[in-house]
Structure 1
């Protein structure tokens, strides 16, 4: 009877020892094993066996990337402005032995280090720099915290400031400053647009003046050429061209006077002698340009010489045979 109880007790003891010696480590974790209070080994993920009773698991270290919140804290900037800032930090354990034995409460230590480093970095900057250079601040925080945690077997992968809240009066002042800056830019843009418009208008007027001057120059050349031709014709003894030239100018002046917006009433006839002279000159020119034609003799008689008549002379009355 006693032998049976002994066997049962021995069997139970073996089972208990077997169970306590087997360690299943999940993926993403490492277990620190101590033997009689001294570091023995590090168990990697999977099935592991340790010496029972005298060996035990000291710590279960998470090897994955872990996030730590950096609580809100008040920071005094270089120009004595009080701001409230908070952030978030990511780290990963590279050496589980150092993370276990080199620091107590790893996450709390990293959180406290991030808070003090944030106050140091932000306190060395002005408020304007603090609000406009957030990326530079994050880089400085990451570099400082990563160097401090290197002896703990930890690598800080990223640190970000989530919010920076300046005082309410400073926010209002910044709003007024922003509005004034936008108004200034709008005025500058309007002034530039007005300047460009004036330049374009001036350039258009200059081009129009150049074209008008060129047109007047060509018209003057044409007038000079016409005057020269008339002078040559007069020098050769032909006065009809001079009469036609003066009559044309008279007609142009009369036409301009008739279509003038200031002209209300024009009474005719008006100095028709000038018009008659112009038409006479034109008639003489056409007569000189046309070849001469022999008059047709009447039946049974000698040829009759037509009487010379001007463009405004009345036709002669026919002669009667009985009178």
Structure 2
């Protein structure tokens, strides 16, 4: 019974080393007597027990490696702490096993050195504004150097760029000054726009007033001209009618009678409204006659008295 158990265990041991199932997400590197034999893809495989062994197992999924923070110096001599993430994938199991001892650690170290080199080419402001181009440059350099390792660097992402405390304080002052500058510029532009709008309004108002005054004068002139024309036309028609009436029989007598009536009417108005005594010209002559007679009488009396 004991021998049968040993035999069963031996058979299971042989089967365990004979049969190999490679998972979907992995590739296995097989060595035969210590020498590379083949890279097995996912699936069911047979091995020769005691001759073949699985030397390396590699995950073929995309892997993300954390790049620790490190100190970098920018082009304008500003100290920064930068960390990131590198994404890679095993493309060749043989090179990943024999081309480098530890491709993960090598990729992280290479990402750090490449990141320091690339940041040294940029100023502080450029490191913030050109992250995409910086990531592309780091990926390109890492991928070029890691090609013999059988891995493919898919992308690199910078997580944080942290300047020193003094630099942050200086940047805050600079940003505050920039905000104040923008606010002053905005206020100045607003005041300028307001003055322009006000001047445009005053100009338009003056134009409207002048246009209105001009139109008013034109209308008044036209009205005066029409009034004069109407009056002149009426006078002309009246004169025509008068002349036609005078040409008829008895026209002169009627005109004289009309003039006398008007004279009497106007004289009555003058006598009623005047503050001084007003008399007709004939009465004024008569008064002058009597005054002259009185003067003559006084002169005659003086002459007689002198003779006596």
- 2:129 corresponds to 1:132: yes
1:99 corresponds to which of 83, 92, 96: 96
| CA displacement at 1:39 relative to structure 2 | 0.8
C-alpha distance in structure 2 between counterparts of 1:145 and 1:77, whole Å: 20
RMSD between aligned residues:
3.0
3-state SS of 1:58 partner? strand
1:165 corresponds to which of 154, 162, 166: 162
Aligned length in residues: 247
The alpha-carbon distance between structure 1 residues 233 and 132, as it changes in their structure 2 partners (threshold 3 A), is closer
C-alpha distance in structure 2 between counterparts of 1:233 and 1:43, whole Å: 121
Match in the other structure for 1:277: none
Match in the other structure for 1:250: none
* Greater fraction helix: 2
Match in the other structure for 1:178: 175
C-alpha distance in structure 1 between counterparts of 2:134 and 2:185, whole Å: 34
The alpha-carbon distance between structure 1 residues 229 and 7, as it changes in their structure 2 partners (threshold 3 A), is closer
2:111 corresponds to which of 111, 114, 131: 114
Matches within 5 A, 1:45-124: 45-124=42-121
- Structure 1 gaps of 5+ residues are 239-284, 289-304, 317-323
C-alpha distance in structure 1 between counterparts of 2:100 and 2:231, whole Å: 123
| CA displacement at 1:12 relative to structure 2 | 4.6
Match in the other structure for 1:188: 185
| CA displacement at 1:190 relative to structure 2 | 1.6
| CA displacement at 1:237 relative to structure 2 | 9.6
Match in the other structure for 1:220: 217
C-alpha distance in structure 1 between counterparts of 2:29 and 2:233, whole Å: 132
C-alpha distance in structure 2 between counterparts of 1:201 and 1:5, whole Å: 112
Match in the other structure for 2:27: 30
Match in the other structure for 1:294: none
| CA displacement at 1:115 relative to structure 2 | 0.9
The alpha-carbon distance between structure 1 residues 228 and 113, as it changes in their structure 2 partners (threshold 3 A), is same
**Which shifted more, 162-171 or 15-24?**
15-24
Tell me the TM-score normalized by structure 1: 0.69
